[in-house]
Structure 1
Amino acid sequence: MDDLLDAAVRLVAIPSTADRPECLQKALDLVVDRAGPGFTVERFRSGGKPSALLYAPGRRPAFRAILNAHLDVVPAPAEQFRPVLRDGRLYGRGAQDMKVAALVMADVFRSVAREVPYPLGLQLVTDEEVGGYDGTGHQVQRGVTADFVVIGEQSGLQVVTESKGILQVRLHATGKAAHAAYPWLGDNAVLRLTAALGRVLDRYPVPAAEAWATTVTVARVETAGRAVNQVPADATAWLDIRFPAGDPALAGRDVAQIAAYLRDLAGVEVSVDSLGAPHHADPDSSEVRALRAAARDAGYPGGLLRKHGAADGRFYSARGVDAVIFGPGGDGQHGPDEYADLATVEPYRAALTTFLRSLQ
């Protein structure tokens, strides 16, 4: 445990955000080294983002199982990259999401990859927080496949078999510029945009409590105009939309269909920047049952969980491969007090090891 904590402190201290390619590479190399020598390390690069795939020496197989971990983090103040150990917790950006889990996965891979009677892969990526298209998505496009994938995102040793899709769009409103003292001579694009946002939020109101429903977050509103004494002629809003598989207007639709639907709903122009489908794995599969049993053997209930956030499992789910999220505990993801619960680390290691050894 002391050795793992030392590695975790060093890894969390790396500010591996999307705008720091040298730090992404440094974090990736640290975890590759953690897995140890004697494995084939296949390197990938797409969109400037490095990733790696480790397996027993030889030609890349179709894997029975893959352990997947991302090493990038969302931006944070400098002090969050100075990790702190306190009261059984490791605080710092990425401690929970998901650098501690990545190190445990590397340790487990090192321990069991040569002994299990099937090909096991360790997949390390550095772009999950910005969409995953250049990491897991790129590797899947390059032919990486498996029967079952375990993603080490935080779950408190519960098994996540379903997560929402992700849709990021921009709403564009146009008007007519005029002097602010004579607003009747212009057409205020900001007012057009806020009316459009109102129509979208009327259809998808912010839930008062947790709900398995489509949510819309207005992340940013901007206009090109900078003068206060001018009626703005343009306005744009950036939206983050999360949707379950049960939303008939969004799930199973392509970019053009979604853009047309939102254009009709909002009454303004729409640009779809990214679309990721909901993820689903069979909760009754033999692998999910085995993973839940391994969690129970480690002292946890092994319950099923649905997650509102999207993860890289959707790239496998889209190819008919079951992928689940299964990780240690913690809290504060993407926040100022993010931490990993160190009491869950050894049970997590034990559960992963038991699961992998139980697979036929």
Structure 2
Amino acid sequence: MDPDEFLARADGLLRIPSTADRPAELARALEFVLDVVGPGCTVERFESRGKPSALVYRGSARQPFRVVFNAHLDVVPGAPEQFTPRREGSRLYARGAQDMKLSALVLASVFRDVRTPFPMALQLVTDEEVGGRDGTLHQLEQGVTGRFVVIGEHSALRLVTESKGLVAARIDAVGRAAHGAYPWLGENALVKLLRAVDALLVAYPEARSEVWRTTVNVARIETSNTALNQIPADASAWLDIRFPPEDPAFDGRGTAEIAAHLSSVCSLPVTVSHVEPPHRADPASVDVVALRAAARAQGFSGDLLRKHGAADARFYYRQGVDAVIFGIGGDGQHGPDEYADLDTVEPYYRALSAYLRSLPNA
């Protein structure tokens, strides 16, 4: 990989404000990376609800792929100056530098440069930051499949083999309005709701340090009551729940089952709007072992990590396909000082290339 050529391309890609509200810029970022791959490949294009994506592979017919490289090219919004990259030593500052445009460029470069004796694909999507359902999930629903997936989210050449699932839920309390001076004539829905939330937080205590268990974030509490001297007749609480694959109350359960479970804990009606599955990859698999060895050969630990947030790996997990997060280093994800660690870029390229070459002809 030519470092100067790579940095020039990185500068060009980082200047594209490919946020969810700019469909033309999403398409431009996608075309930019396809140009990096160059000619000689089949490019399948997909679109769902205005979000474009592509699948690139060699040969004329799609098939189950031995390896899939997955990259998202969308970014969260940032200040205008964040779309003008600046370099300070080994740090390249810009929106999307760490998450994950530089990793995407490396994945595309390795796909272009390493010819494998087995079927392989590069999957490029533009909606990961808003859920991934119109990119990775949409392609899977169209029949795309593989045996092992490398997702280039930032990890400093470590491997994320587990990540939590997500539940979005709402607790509703109904009371009876009355004058605030005569509380015995009414029933305070807000008090009922607070007791329900307390019960839920007893079952799932607030985490004060990093812990691998189910956590509940009470994101919002509302009531339609606006008068100080009136007893609220209604109240609702919105919950953001994250759960590991080991929690049987959530993993593999549908919205109705999870709603019933939460209702039994808090003794009020619960509505679950959606459930996102967790993710786990076998740490002893041939691919995980090979990828760790390749990272270690470049002087990195290749440690296995757990991720508390969701990523597109969850869609593969649901289909029984192992996927890991493996990307460059950096810091400041989604913040004003996001940067990529340029010292990890070439080792990342070499590790991915070595990993592919180490695999048997399967």
- TM-score > 0.5 by shorter chain: yes
Aligned-partner SS, 1:306: strand
Distance 1:327 1:235 in 2: 43
- Which amino acid is 1:45 matched to? E
Q: TM-score, normalised by structure 1?
A: 0.92
1:80–1:174 Cα change, 3 Å: farther
Shift of 1:291: 0.6
1:136-160 Cα deviation digits (max 9, x unpaired): 1111111111111101111110112
Distance 1:180 1:78 in 2: 50
1:238–1:30 Cα change, 3 Å: farther
Deviates more, 1:341-350 or 1:126-135: 126-135
- Which amino acid is 1:120 matched to? M
Confirm or deny that 1:251 pairs with 2:265.
Answer: no
Distance 1:192 1:29 in 2: 54
1:5–1:193 Cα change, 3 Å: farther
1:254-282 Cα deviation digits (max 9, x unpaired): 21110111112223332222212221111
1:296 aligned partner: 296
Distance 2:280 2:315 in 1: 11
1:116 aligned partner: 116
Shift of 1:84: 2.8
Distance 2:267 2:155 in 1: 39
2:6 aligned partner: 4
Shift of 1:323: 0.9
1:56 aligned partner: 58
1:237 aligned partner: 237
2:330 aligned partner: 330
Shift of 1:19: 2.9
Shift of 1:183: 5.7
- Which amino acid is 1:129 matched to? E
Distance 1:27 1:43 in 2: 14
1:20-61 Cα deviation digits (max 9, x unpaired): 322322222222222222221111112322211011141112
Aligned-partner SS, 1:90: strand
Confirm or deny that 1:41 pairs with 2:43.
Answer: yes
- Which amino acid is 1:49 matched to? K
Deviates more, 1:247-256 or 1:189-198: 189-198
- What do you get for the CA RMSD once the two structures are aligned? 2.1
Distance 1:99 1:225 in 2: 46
1:146–1:195 Cα change, 3 Å: same
1:98–1:224 Cα change, 3 Å: farther
Confirm or deny that 1:88 pairs with 2:90.
Answer: yes
- Which amino acid is 2:311 matched to? A
Aligned residues: 358
Shift of 1:184: 5.5
- Which amino acid is 1:111 matched to? D
2:213 aligned partner: 213
Among 4, 12, 20, the residue aligned to 2:22: 20
- Which amino acid is 2:343 matched to? A
1:193 aligned partner: 193
1:35–1:226 Cα change, 3 Å: farther
Matches within 5 A, 1:340-359: 340-359=340-359
Shift of 1:134: 1.6
1:310-354 Cα deviation digits (max 9, x unpaired): 211121122221111111111222233222111111111110111
Distance 1:12 1:184 in 2: 62
1:286-321 Cα deviation digits (max 9, x unpaired): 111111111112121222222112211121122221
1:187–1:150 Cα change, 3 Å: same
Task: Structure 2 unaligned segments of length 5 or more: list them.
Answer: none
Distance 2:18 2:222 in 1: 28
Distance 1:178 1:87 in 2: 65
Distance 1:183 1:5 in 2: 68
Distance 1:169 1:66 in 2: 33
Shift of 1:172: 2.5
Distance 2:180 2:208 in 1: 37
1:224–1:317 Cα change, 3 Å: same
- Which amino acid is 2:207 matched to? P
Confirm or deny that 1:279 pairs with 2:283.
Answer: no
Shift of 1:232: 4.0
2:107 aligned partner: 105
Shift of 1:18: 2.6
Shift of 1:231: 4.5
Distance 1:97 1:29 in 2: 18
Distance 2:89 2:230 in 1: 55
Distance 1:187 1:17 in 2: 46
1:39–1:177 Cα change, 3 Å: farther
Task: Structure 1 unaligned segments of length 5 or more: list them.
Answer: none
1:98-117 Cα deviation digits (max 9, x unpaired): 111111111111111xx211
1:44–1:229 Cα change, 3 Å: farther
